Amino acid sequence: MFSNKKKIDNLFIYWLKTCLAIVFLIIIIGGLTRLTNSGLSITEWELFKGILPPTNETTWLLYFDQYKQIPQYKLVNLNMTIDEFKIIFYWEYVHRILARLIGLFFLIPLLFFYFSGHVNKKYINICFLIFILILLQGLVGWLMVKSGLTHNITVSHYRLSIHLIIAFIIASTIFWLIKSYINQKKKNFFNFKKGNSPFLILIFLIYLQVVFGAFVSGLDAGRIYQTWPLMGDTYFPNDFDISFFKNLFDFNNHSLVQFYHRNLAYMIVIYTIFLTSYIYYKNLKNLFIPLKLLIIILLFQIILGILTLVSGLNIYIASLHQISSVLLVLIAINLYFFQAK
């Protein structure tokens, strides 16, 4: 009996780690889909069809004709050939196939672990919550695509940010569950006991930065100012009117969104310095190594952010910038896990 329980435990951990890897991969593919402007290439949800890509020229022409009806084609890609269309189609196709895969790969083993009775229900309940988030993510993904099919040449940056943040929440929850299960410690994530809050604030700031990163990506706001440390010749964008307070909340303004994204990065650096001082002042030795990992990834993320900007949004650097943002979130959560009461 004990041997069987151990096997189930090992399977459960391997399953969670594989799910985390797939979520990580789909975030990367999703970022590249956005960077290549491929997200609107498939104009129907195709929940139960579209599992296989087009297999003949007739089907390819059908998909291409559907794409020709939307503003992105008419206003941006009017001279696109069918071979060029196939490239953006496959980016979106792979993204959708991975989404289906994570849904099935999560549900079927989850039912097995649920009915096996060997995994504590408190962990299983969290897994069901993750599955609900996965379903919600699929719906939000389609609503995001739908926002770019009628009057816009790209998707809504608000819906894009929701889509991205849900993906980060799914990855974060799976990672927290893995840490809890391996250490056999069921810790509550949102626990504001004394000593936890400084670490939760850091995670909140990073999540907020992810949201503004999605705003920048969705609006192509990185193309407005491609200089650093100044935005053109000034610290604050000189093409923005600050005479009205409400303008500071105009998240449709490209320059303002980029300004916030830059300054949130500075804020995270300053806060990390404060947190480092706090950890060493309290002599929290168990946090020294996780803290060093956090600092390394944070510096790497900052360098990539600057290079993304000054390189004219090089797609490879921009993709690495997004990948490191996922790592930064997970490493910040790892730091918090060792402190959480």
Count: domains in the chain? 2
Count the alpha carbons within 13 Å of 106 in the hemisphere toward its beta carbon: 27
Same domain assignment for residues 137 and 182: yes
Same-domain pairing of 34 and 133: yes
Question: b/e per residue, 275-290, with b = 16+ CB within 10 A?
Answer: bbeebeeeeeeebeeb
Phi, psi of 20 (to 5 degrees): -65, -40
pLDDT of 329 higher than 60: yes
Please state whether the peptide bond connecting residue 290 to the residue before it is cis, i.e. omega within 30 degrees of 0: no
Pair (166, 194) in one structural domain: no
Cα–Cα distances (Å) from 226 to 120, 149, 157, 215, 314, in that order, read: 51, 29, 20, 16, 11
Say whether 40 sits in a helix, a strand or coil: coil
* Mean pLDDT, residues 163-190: 89
Please state, in angstroms and rounded to a whole number, the distance separating the CA atoms of residues 308 and 150: 30
pLDDT tens, residue by residue, 270-324:
999 999 999 999 999 999 999 999 999 999 999 999 999 999 889 999 999 999 9
Statement to judge: residues 246 and 181 lie in one domain: no
My answer on whether 199 and 116 are in the same domain is no
Whole-angstrom Cα distance, residue 316 to residue 72?
Answer: 23
pTM (predicted TM-score): 0.93
Would you place residue 226 in the very low, low, confident or very high pLDDT band (cuts 50, 70, 90)?
Answer: very high
Q: 235 phi and psi, to 5 degrees? A: -70, -45
Among residues 132, 166, 186, the one where a domain terminates is: 186
Q: How confident is the model at residue 1 (pLDDT cuts 50, 70, 90)?
A: very low
What the block records as the tokens of 40 is 């609107």
Do residues 141 and 202 share a domain?
no
First-to-last CA distance in the chain? 32
pLDDT at site 206: 97
Q: How confident is the model at residue 3 (pLDDT cuts 50, 70, 90)?
A: low
Q: In the structure encoding, which two tokens stand for residue 333, read together?
A: 């959560």
128 and 214 co-located in one domain: no
Task: Please state the rounded mean pLDDT for residues 209-225.
Answer: 93
Distance CA 136, CA 141 (A): 8
The range of the structural domain enclosing residue 163 comes to: 1-186
Same domain, residue pair 60 and 176: yes
- Could you tell me if 181 and 209 lie in one domain? no
> Is the domain of 241 the same as that of 274?
yes
Query: Residue 327: what pLDDT?
Result: 96
Q: What is the pLDDT of residues 95-115, one digit of tens each?
A: 999 999 999 999 999 999 999
- What is the C-alpha to C-alpha distance for residues 41 and 85, in angstroms, rounded to an integer? 8
* Tens-digit pLDDT profile for residues 36-81: 999 999 998 877 777 888 989 999 999 999 999 999 999 999 999 9
Q: How many CB atoms lie within 10 A of CB 84?
A: 11
Burial class (CB within 10 angstroms; exposed 0-12, middle 13-18, buried 19+) of 125: exposed
Same domain, 170 and 205: no
Query: Under a CB-based contact definition with an 8 Å cutoff, are residues 257 and 219 in contact?
Result: yes
pLDDT at 34 over 60: yes
Residue where one domain finishes, among candidates 160, 186, 212: 186
3-class SS of residue 44: coil
Of 186, 218, 234, the position where a domain reaches its end is 186
Same domain assignment for residues 203 and 178: no
Phi first, then psi, for residue 163 (nearest 5°) are -60, -45
The answer, yes or no, to whether residue 2 has pLDDT greater than 60, is no
